[in-house]
Amino acid sequence: MLKGAKVLILKKKRREIVLFLDLIILILVSILFYMIFPNNVSLANQNYYSLIINIFILIFSGMISQFLFKTYDSLWRYAQSKEYLMLLLGGITGYLIYLLIVITIPGNSIPVLYTLSVYSVSLIGMLFMRLCYRQYRKYYRTIYGRIPIAIIGAGEAGVKLLEELQSNPSSRYYPVCLIDDSPEKIGKRVHNVKVLGPISNLERHLLDQSIRDIVIAMPSVTKGRQKEILDICAKVKCRVRILPDNLAFMKNGEKKSLWSNVRDIRIDELLAREMVSLDNSEIEKFLNNKVVLVTGGGGSIGSELCRQIAKANPKELIILDNYENNAYDIQQELVFKYKASLNLKVEIASVRDKEKLSIIFDKYRPNIVFHAAAYKHVPLMEACPEEAIRNNIFGTYNTVMTSHQYGVERFVFISTDKAVNPTNIMGASKRFCEMIIQSMKEKSKTEYVAVRFGNVLGSNGSVIPLFQKQIDMGGPVTITDKRVVRYFMTITEAVELVLHAGSMANSSEIYVLDMGEPVKIIDLAENLIRLSGYIPYKDIDIIEVGLRPGEKLYEEILMNNDGLLATANHKIFIESQESISQEDIQDRIDILTKALASKSSSEIKKAMKKVVSTYKDPDEVNRAISEYLSD
């Protein structure tokens, strides 16, 4: 406390302290020159009084000029070339003032060469003092109170980031080294920071360094190479962040902070999946000047649907959701972004309420409907199977039939990989919804399609945000089973797929995305811990808690691998399905209605197995896969 008070007092007296030091420099240089070159100063009758008067006038003139140039108001720890130039100009002006004064003094015997030498050397001393102070402050801030980081990439982005961190006095970070693969750069120095390499030797390079953070500043690197670098970074105990590839302003010369763009690693970057290439022009043509309604518009998928639909200039966008907070959030986001250019409406309603749906459809007459409203949490739906049936199945049936009644042009249903050979009520309910879509083939002018994909990264209730929260709280990280594998995709990618499928719709088809290779959940957990700067099982533990009700060890994308039809996009396929009649659907709905009336979870699950033939107990499926894996 006392030390802090002293520092505060010194800061307030900064100008007086610098002035006092300048006076000391002038006086000492004057004495030094007189002692070294006494014969060069002609003093008649040892007229020390005349010398003192000249020195006093010299000091007075120099100090007055520096005040006129306001050099004592400068913060020298932040000084640039302008401040040093002003100090020199102030010095020259001060000496000119001195000359104007001394020529008025009769009989002045002090040579101009002496005073010019004293003043010049003193001015150099003042500059040197300020430079030393600035370097000391820079060194002090580098060593104390700042976080040492390594920057991977010594290209344009890495160097600009280095310059910004070095020049920013308020930055909490200072770069210790650059790491690059280029033989031309390795061993060189950039702004006095050494370039080490190659990147594959990262762990060895950081052994003798006190690095706590790593920033990957290679915005133009490929996804595959980025994944390789992340795998290397995962071997060291450092927090890893990245400078993303959306840095067009660097080329346009705009002055924006690079550090403000540095962010934590996203899980999709850790997976390094090849992004699906979609023809956005077809999507824009599909949605342009259309009335579009999104059910579940406030959810993870629904809200992203609304964002991307808004870009395509729809005639009107209607967000329908029964949870007003989510609906309000996406409404305010879109209003802020598009203002009056987007015709946006919000309706708080449940898809269970057929009468309310009819009122909304009659009011807006939508051309296109995206049906994202659903309960998706597997364990919760196992505990409350009646809600999965009422909301997912009956709600979808209501929306499908209302769309038919009001002449909707196209209806796109959001499905899931859990609908394939389901082992839980949620997946079975989604499979039933796909069957409802199939039953509308050639029965309605409305074109109905379903889009099936795997787990969505970062969505509400997904495992990745849970892992990140657990890591932030210091662990442990909980996983269900080390053998669990899942397919993953980003929210943006999933929604683009939905929109693309809608634009190329063939009635009553199920569109499936080739999602690449499945990922082990244990690998995701370990890599997230490492890239957060911790060591798995040492700093943060990983605990198996067992499969949750209804879960299986693996998920599938296809019902039948042999029944795939290609589309214009090599990553998107149509799964051929047997036709099903509306009468059959109605009979199955009646079975479910009777089961709901029993208010018995076991009766409801029995009924679900009757109406969805592929629905099996998770124990049966997991036992089979465990035996297969053990063999």
Whether 524 shows a pLDDT value over 90: the answer reads no
Q: Binning pLDDT at 50, 70 and 90, where does residue 8 land?
A: very low
Say if 62 falls within a structural domain: yes
Q: Binning pLDDT at 50, 70 and 90, where does residue 542 land?
A: very high
Q: Identify the burial level of 583 via C-beta atoms within 10 angstroms of its C-beta, where 0-12 means exposed, 13-18 middle and 19 or more buried.
A: exposed
Say if 271 falls within a structural domain: no
Q: Binning pLDDT at 50, 70 and 90, where does residue 7 land?
A: very low
Q: Which of 241-250, 323-332, 475-484 has the lowest mean pLDDT?
A: 241-250
Question: What is the model's pLDDT at position 58?
Answer: 73
Query: Between 273 and 351, where is the model more confident?
Result: 351
Query: Between 536 and 595, where is the model more confident?
Result: 595
* Cα distance between residue 365 and residue 481, in whole Å: 48
Cβ(316)–Cβ(291) under 8 Å?
Answer: yes
Residues 112 and 218 in one domain: no
Cβ(604)–Cβ(598) under 8 Å?
Answer: yes
**Most confidently modeled range among 334-343, 442-451, 500-509:** 334-343
Mean pLDDT (whole number) for 407-422:
92
Whether 5 shows a pLDDT value over 70: the answer reads no
* Cα distance between residue 364 and residue 357, in whole Å: 11
Q: Which two tokens stand for residue 277?
A: 């290439």
Mean pLDDT (whole number) for 332-359:
95
- pLDDT tens, residue by residue, 67-110: 776 666 655 555 556 666 776 777 777 777 777 777 777 656 66
Residues 556 and 615 in one domain: yes
Residue type (1 letter), 280 = N
Say if 1 falls within a structural domain: no
Residues 442 and 553 in one domain: yes
Whether 287 shows a pLDDT value over 80: the answer reads yes
Residues 128 and 35 in one domain: yes
Residues near 354 by beta carbon (within 8 Å), at least 6 away in sequence: 398, 401, 402
* Cα distance between residue 491 and residue 456, in whole Å: 6
Query: Between 357 and 36, where is the model more confident?
Result: 357
Element (H, E) at 520: strand 519-520
Query: Between 482 and 426, where is the model more confident?
Result: 426
Residues 290 and 315 in one domain: yes
Mean pLDDT (whole number) for 541-565:
73
Say if 258 falls within a structural domain: yes
Please provide residue 193's backbone torsions phi and psi, each rounded to the nearest 5 degrees.
Answer: -110, 130
Whether 349 shows a pLDDT value over 80: the answer reads yes
- pLDDT tens, residue by residue, 196-238: 989 988 888 887 677 888 999 988 888 778 888 888 888 887 8
Whether 488 shows a pLDDT value over 60: the answer reads yes
Whether 42 shows a pLDDT value over 80: the answer reads no
Query: Between 603 and 503, where is the model more confident?
Result: 603
Residue type (1 letter), 327 = A
Mean pLDDT (whole number) for 503-530:
78
* Residue 166: how many other CB atoms lie within 10 Å: 16
Q: How many domains does the chain have?
A: 3
**Most confidently modeled range among 14-28, 247-261, 323-337:** 323-337
pLDDT, mean over the chain: 80
- pLDDT tens, residue by residue, 528-540: 888 787 888 888 9
* Three-state secondary structure call for residue 362: helix
Residues 96 and 188 in one domain: no
Whether 587 shows a pLDDT value over 90: the answer reads yes
Say if 287 falls within a structural domain: yes
Question: What is the model's pLDDT at position 38?
Answer: 59
Residues 435 and 318 in one domain: yes
Say if 567 falls within a structural domain: yes
Query: Between 393 and 475, where is the model more confident?
Result: 393
Whether 45 shows a pLDDT value over 50: the answer reads no
Whether 143 shows a pLDDT value over 70: the answer reads no
**Most confidently modeled range among 185-189, 452-456, 508-512:** 185-189
For the four alpha carbons of 566, 568, 573 and 574, in that order, the dihedral sign comes to negative
- pLDDT tens, residue by residue, 489-501: 778 878 887 888 7
Q: Which two tokens stand for residue 456?
A: 């969505």
Question: What is the model's pLDDT at position 518?
Answer: 77
Say if 630 falls within a structural domain: no
Question: What is the model's pLDDT at position 458?
Answer: 63
Q: Which two tokens stand for residue 244?
A: 């993303």
Q: Which of 90, 112, 141 is the last residue of a domain?
A: 141
Percent of the chain with pLDDT over 90: 31
Cβ(269)–Cβ(231) under 8 Å?
Answer: no
Residues 25 and 173 in one domain: no
Cβ(295)–Cβ(288) under 8 Å?
Answer: no
Residues 186 and 242 in one domain: yes
Whether 256 shows a pLDDT value over 60: the answer reads yes
* Residue 350: how many other CB atoms lie within 10 Å: 18
Q: Which of 92, 126, 141 is the last residue of a domain?
A: 141
Percent of the chain with pLDDT over 70: 77
Residues near 321 by beta carbon (within 8 Å), at least 6 away in sequence: 295, 296, 297, 298, 299, 302, 327, 346, 347, 348, 349, 373
The domain that contains 503 carries what CATH number? 3.40.50.720
Query: Smallest Cα–Cα separation from 242: which of 216, 221, 218?
Result: 216
Question: What is the model's pLDDT at position 82?
Answer: 63
For the four alpha carbons of 379, 384, 386 and 392, in that order, the dihedral sign comes to negative
State which residues form the domain around 91. Answer: 13-141
Residues near 440 by beta carbon (within 8 Å), at least 6 away in sequence: 400, 404, 446, 448, 507, 508, 582
Residues 149 and 133 in one domain: no
Whether 557 shows a pLDDT value over 80: the answer reads no
Q: Which long-range contacts (CB under 8 A, 24 or more apart) does 259-263 make?
A: 259/161, 259/164, 259/165, 259/168, 259/171, 259/173, 262/161, 262/215
Say if 270 falls within a structural domain: no
- pLDDT tens, residue by residue, 427-464: 999 999 999 999 998 788 999 999 888 777 766 667 77
Question: What is the model's pLDDT at position 402?
Answer: 97
Buried b / exposed e over 292-311, threshold 16 CB at 10 Å, is: bbbbbbbbbbbbbbbbbbbe
Q: Which of 141, 161, 192 is the last residue of a domain?
A: 141
Residues 428 and 573 in one domain: yes
Residues 308 and 165 in one domain: no
